[in-house]
Amino acid sequence: MAETLRLMAVHAHPDDESSKGAATMARYVAEGVEVLVVTCTGGERGDILNPAMDRPEIKENLAAVRQAEMDAAREILGVRQEWLGFMDSGLPEGDPLPPLPEGCFALVPLEEAAAPLVRAVREFRPHVILTYDENGGYPHPDHIKTYEISAEAFDAAGDPDRYPGLGEPWQPLKMYYFLTFHKERLLALHEVLVAAGKESPYLDWIANWEDRPMPWPLTTRVPCGDFFEVRDAALIAHATQIDPDGWWFACSPDLQREAWPTEDYHLARSLVDTELPEDDLFAGIREKVGA
């Protein structure tokens, strides 16, 4: 029998899974792929970004509220989800930057932080891992730490001599970085909005973009436009983080399908032969496992 394909997405906080790669996951779920979201922290130190949710009772119970939001988003996307149980580091601001809070995820030693992810990899046995790039996608300490433990788990989970006692070894075959917010996509969304006579929220972002090559080339574009509405519903489920009247939804799913109907990735590591550019995260794996 053909092996069931498995995809693991490793994220720093609840809501990250819905803002990065959500339509991709929904598409693969619809195709019968098993998908697991691993969430490293509870988002306890996150700000409330939706004015409608900025209420004392929400602030006082933010960890529980964000867990409930994650449960709702998981159901919408049709994925499994696991918490690693680390404490949100928060996003330090100021000059000089303040020290990170004691005991937070970003300060946990690498092997200690990676161990529960190695266990999850060995239990779930993913063929593909999705994560952030070496800079975290943006320089949030939890995003950078998420990259570090993802790279560690990719290298270590298949080695029986590393992390003993955390399950039978399993070697993932590919690891990708999310390339959600890149200039080419933002320009396409901006232009389709202008052509439709609508106001674009991307103009200042584009104007202030540093004119330099992407550090991680776009290798893989996954067509998933049919699942943009699912992605948006999962985003809205994170009500403390996403304003339903905000810039996330300035470009309608129909206009996005016209301008940029894919979610994009950089193939960072591969143990199978594949031909770039790709349009499938499992390119080279389907042939290997007979899926």
Secondary structure of 99-136 as H, E, C letters: CCCCCEHHHCCHHHHHHHHHHHHHHHCCCEEEECCCCC
CA distances from 157 to 126, 152, 165, 250 (A): 11, 8, 11, 41
Q: Is 266 annotated as a binding residue?
A: no
Nearest CA to 20 out of 256, 150, 181 is that of 181
Tokens of 208: 């202030």
Secondary structure of 188-208 as H, E, C letters: HHHHHHHHCCCCCCCHHHHHC
Q: Is 182 annotated as a binding residue?
A: no
Q: Is 13 annotated as a binding residue?
A: yes
Rounded Cα gap, residues 63 and 4, in angstroms: 34
Length of the chain: 291
Which residues are annotated as part of the binding site for Zn(2+)? 13, 16, 143
Which residues are annotated as part of the binding site? 13, 16, 143
